[in-house]
Amino acid sequence: MSFASWSIRNPIPSILLFILLSLAGLRGLQQLSIQSLPDLDLPSVIVKLNQPGAAPAQLETEVARKVEDSIATLSGLKHIRTSITDGLVQINVEFILEKKLSDALIEIKDAVDRVRSDLPTSVLQPGISAVTVGGAPILTYAIASNKLDEEALSWLVDDNVSKVLLGVAGVGRFERLGGVQREIQLEVDPVRLASLGVTATDVSRALKQVQQESSGGRGNLGLAEQSVHTLATVRQASELAALQVAIANGREVRLDQIATVRDTVAERTQLAALDGKPLIGFNIYRAKGFDETRISADVEQALARMREADPSLSFTLISGSVAYSQEQYQGSMMMLYEGALLAVLVVWWFLRDWRATLVSASALPLSILPTFAVMHWLGFSMNMLTMLALAIVVGILVDDAIVEIENIARHVRMGKSIRQAAAEAVDEIALAVIATTLTLVVVFMPTALMNGVSGLFFRQFGWTAVVAVLASLLVARLLTPMLAAYLLTEGHHPASVDGSLMPIYLKAVQWTLRHRKATMLLSTLFFIGACLMLPLIPAGFVPPADRGYTTVQFELPPGSSINDAGRVAEAARAVLQPLAGVEHVFTAVGSSQLVGGGVSRPGEQRKGALTLTLNERGLRPHQSQIEQAVRAALRDVPGARFSIGIGGPGEKMSLILSSDNAAALKASAQALERDLRTVGTLSSISSTASLERPEIAIRPDWQRAAELGVTAELIGETVRIATSGDFDAQLAKLNLDNRQLAIRVRMADAARQDLQILANLRVKAGDKLVPLSSVAELSLASGSAQVDRYDRRRYVTVNAELGGMSLGEALAAAKTLPAVVNMPSSVKLIRTGDAEIMAELVGSFGMAMLTGLLCVFCVLVLLFKDFFQPLTILSAIPLSMGGAFIALLLTGGELNIPSMIGLIMLMGIVTKNSILLVEYALLAMREHGLSRHEALLDACHKRARPIVMTTVAMIAGMLPIALGWGADASFRQPMAVAVIGGLLSSTLLSLLVVPVVFTYVDGTRQSLARRFGVKE
């Protein structure tokens, strides 16, 4: 007894099973998180090593190389990226996807510990942490208050707002934008210091020894025990002026005799403004694996509670990816509903029976709901790829039910009762249904098992499609026969359902069977012609999205002040604000910079970003058009280098030049940057080649310094503390009720603007002070501000915005440039970013398609117990590929990730249609005793209708996506176009070509059987 017959006789277990699966699916749907795309970052670990005062070149030799060499011995390593700035080495270690993050963290710690003794003693304790936060902020807010000044509001953000929001589940990092930091400054007078024979270093260290609290000791007064606590701190900043500190030779001095005490703010390092008005903002970053929309809702509730507690506060949402993710989710769900409705209407149009339509349509929710339960169990999210998988299988899910209902109706027309017809019809077509489902499973399974970045992209996509298709098989074998047996009636099934097109089609089949060679020749020419069109289709990665906001990054020359950056930002805002479609412009200068892989580096005062919030999609041009207008407008803003885009996939091309020869590397980068400006629509060409920053070089006179006992360390320390203060850890602190303020000793700003004053700084030489100029030479020079390394070699990244050009075209053009062709042998060109991911994905997709094809063949061989007829079934695949290529070319599409998904999907769908024809032809020959010619005509007559029905249902399900209805469909549209084109060509041609191929394959099989004496 088959499953279908058992379910007809025992309907209650089947009904109960699907009720439970549906309830589990509804619960899973509630729990699934919503994201734009799956987390695409590989397992990464950050290593930070601090050596205060060390220059980048020194750190590269003494620290970075040694740690990199130790880390390079680890297994599963993918890339090592190192960024070296003054006093800091930051190493980002990327592992392959299969590496457990916990194991990677332990191995990195062991690798650093192995070389810890080889590092300079002044290197502080290394910081090693796993990257658990998504790359870009998901929300950016502005905060304002009508009671607090800038400093108080900045402290409120740092102390109160950050605590509240970091307590929200899923918030991984909080970052303030703009604002200032309160600190106590002692501006020393160099003349007074010289008269007293002390230096700024003496004052800073003496203040540190006086201004502190310490504990220790024990008392036993009154037969009780007391701890001893030494309190030597002032209560407020004004008391510091009268504080006396000990200086050299046993003397003491009041601070107000040598310095001016100011309770003020630290040097400004950040600026923020909205539409030109200064304000304070903050970024919120998502921890990996959490729902963006739930984080947004919880954050909004937390901010609302803060507004209720303090009505003077106001929060304004500036930008973020949450709205786009929510829009994509709602749009995808709407496409799912529309596709399902259109598929059901197609079924009704063909069957003209509401009962049969209801039975077929029930397969949709009963297949998708269990899929939600499995998705939640596997830890997936509702993102563009999983929603795309569900949109893809909408048309497929009703296929099995359509085929079964159509077959049941045919058996009813033969005069059988409904129950008998349901049982016999479903058993008759069982092999075809199982075969078609398993072919879809083995087509999608390789995408679910991809490794590396491909696995990050498509693991969720593949498994979602596989589970939904298997659920549809369960529905088709258990529920559809039972519902048909109990809901369908014996009426409404006319004896003949052939329409006016069926006789025409059968005549066409007879013609092709009489002219087999001509049919095969025309089919081959169609496929060859379509393949010749393939080079005309541009290759891409991911279509650029319309997210409703974009970012303009800008960079000033090294040495530029934050005020310079602020002026450039305001000039850029002034020309961008009036552009059509731009609603608000948010400016942030000095904030942290995203460097990829979820890693950011500390901000620089000469760099910033303008976030352009766009109007609603229906009230403005497409985002790509607005970005083109932005590029044109920024040509009138001098003094900075601009780049446009939020850093999402499909926006820019990144090339890495790597070498140990710094001079050759810099020259090659400049040549490549220059040549790229001549390529197509590429714009905003820039490189990370370290620009020379202005410096004040102090070169000691070694003989004179040695005579006086002055060391280079002492010179550096004296100048550093006098000009910018001591390291934060060495500063004295002022303890307030709920915070601690740094007390910074340094010269006034005016003194730092005069090289002569710096030359006259006093340096300790034994018991006396000597001018700095007597032991060293001061001059203006330039030096490298930063050293970047990639896989243990210095590197420079050259970036170019695509501006509408496909990534494949841009890469091909870049390879032919003179700068690349004539590149020195010591310089290596490496593709990174989108280019690296695209190359890996194309290779993985090619392997997935070949694996899927092989698996389909194996499944068909096992099911049909024949090595020949599976070849007939697979013959429809080239016909579908040709149609897909033509559709992409006609619509101006790219051969990118979504269209490749469509090609994989086509492999399963067209195989499904061929199975219906071949299976029935074999059945007619084997059980009904028909000749091959008669069997083929009978199969075409009986199976053409369900094939056309399923094809039209799938096209109807894809049509809203192909037309780009609703939310931004830039990612889904190429897939739908490829699928519709492939379905049209494969259905129209395979209904005519597959019978011809069947005759050739069957004839070959019979000929070989006769030659080797095999009994059929």
Q: What is the DSSP string of 233-282?
A: --SSGGGGGG-EEE-GGG-EEEHHHHEEEEEEEPPP--EEEETTEE-EEE
User: Cα(640)–Cα(553) distance, rounded to whole angstroms?
Assistant: 10
Tens digit of pLDDT for each residue in 716-738? 778 878 787 777 777 778 777 77
Is the model's pLDDT at 491 over the cut of 60?
no
Is the model's pLDDT at 999 over the cut of 80?
yes
Q: Are 100 and 114 in contact (CB under 8 A)?
A: no
Q: Are 537 and 981 in contact (CB under 8 A)?
A: no
Task: Copy the structure tokens of residue 874.
Answer: 């697979």
pLDDT of residue 881: 81
User: Cα(546)–Cα(7) distance, rounded to whole angstroms?
Assistant: 49
pLDDT of residue 599: 46
Q: For the residues 301-308, what does the mean pLDDT come to? A: 89
3-state secondary structure 8-21: HHCHHHHHHHHHHH
User: Cα(132)–Cα(202) distance, rounded to whole angstroms?
Assistant: 43
Give the largest Cα separation in the chain, rounded: 120
In which band, very low, low, confident or very high, does the pLDDT at 493 lie, cut at 50, 70 and 90? very low
Beta-strand runs (E) in 346-448: 381-382
Length of the chain: 1016
User: Cα(977)–Cα(901) distance, rounded to whole angstroms?
Assistant: 11
Nearest Cα residue to 587 out of 279, 135, 156: 279
Nearest Cα residue to 283 out of 143, 156, 440, 466: 143
Tens digit of pLDDT for each residue in 140-191? 888 888 888 888 888 888 888 888 888 888 888 888 888 888 888 888 888 8
Q: For the residues 463-485, what does the mean pLDDT come to? A: 82
Task: Copy the structure tokens of residue 144.
Answer: 């304002």
What residues have CB less than 8 Å from 168, skipping those under 6 apart? 295, 298, 299, 302
Q: What is the rounded average pLDDT for all residues in the chain?
A: 79
Alpha helices in 33-159 (DSSP H): 56-59, 65-71, 101-114, 150-156
Q: Are 541 and 897 in contact (CB under 8 A)?
A: yes
What residues have CB less than 8 Å from 106, skipping those under 6 apart? none
Is the model's pLDDT at 282 over the cut of 50?
yes
pLDDT of residue 494: 43
Tens digit of pLDDT for each residue in 14-51? 888 888 988 998 898 888 888 777 766 678 888 888 88
Q: Are 340 and 957 in contact (CB under 8 A)?
A: yes
First vs last Cα of the chain: how many Å apart? 28
What residues have CB less than 8 Å from 338, skipping those under 6 apart? 960, 965
Dihedral angle sign, alpha carbons of residues 475, 910, 962, 37: positive
Q: Are 380 and 386 in contact (CB under 8 A)?
A: yes
Is the model's pLDDT at 492 over the cut of 80?
no
Is the model's pLDDT at 584 over the cut of 80?
yes
User: Cα(943)–Cα(496) distance, rounded to whole angstroms?
Assistant: 14
Tens digit of pLDDT for each residue in 226-268? 888 777 777 777 777 777 777 766 677 888 788 888 888 888 8
**768-771 and 762-765: which strand pairing?**
antiparallel
In which band, very low, low, confident or very high, does the pLDDT at 944 lie, cut at 50, 70 and 90? confident
Describe the crossing of helices 973-1011 and 932-962 by its angle, rounded to 10 degrees: 170
Nearest Cα residue to 274 out of 180, 177, 182: 177
Nearest Cα residue to 258 out of 188, 198, 186, 185: 188
User: Cα(221)–Cα(59) distance, rounded to whole angstroms?
Assistant: 55
Q: Are 683 and 803 in contact (CB under 8 A)?
A: yes
Q: Are 951 and 982 in contact (CB under 8 A)?
A: no
* Cα angle, residue 368 at apex, residues 362 and 372 outer, rounded to 5°: 145
pLDDT of residue 425: 77
In which band, very low, low, confident or very high, does the pLDDT at 597 lie, cut at 50, 70 and 90? very low
Tens digit of pLDDT for each residue in 371-418? 899 888 888 888 878 887 887 777 666 666 677 777 777 777 777 777
Tens digit of pLDDT for each residue in 885-910? 888 888 877 777 788 888 887 877 77
Is the model's pLDDT at 883 over the cut of 80?
yes
Could you tell me the domains of the chain? 3-36+325-532+838-1011 (1.20.1640.10), 44-130 (3.30.70.1430), 139-181+269-320 (3.30.70.1320), 182-217+228-265+693-784 (3.30.2090.10), 549-692+787-835 (3.30.70.1430)
Residue 216, by phi and psi: left (phi above 0), alpha (psi -120 to 50) or beta? left
Q: What is the DSSP string of 287-327?
A: BTTS-HHHHHHHHHHHHHHHHHH-TTEEEEEEE-SHHHHHH
Q: What are phi and psi of 232, to 5 degrees?
A: -130, 40
In which band, very low, low, confident or very high, does the pLDDT at 596 lie, cut at 50, 70 and 90? very low
Is the model's pLDDT at 922 over the cut of 70?
yes
User: Cα(493)–Cα(409) distance, rounded to whole angstroms?
Assistant: 6
Give the H or E element holding residue 435: helix 430-448
User: Cα(334)–Cα(969) distance, rounded to whole angstroms?
Assistant: 12
Query: Which residue's entry shows tokens 């005799």?
Result: 257
pLDDT of residue 780: 77
What 3-state class would DSSP assign to 39?
coil
Lowest mean pLDDT among 46-50, 92-96, 299-303, 889-893: 889-893
The share of the chain scoring above pLDDT 70, in percent, equals 91
Dihedral angle sign, alpha carbons of residues 509, 515, 516, 522: negative
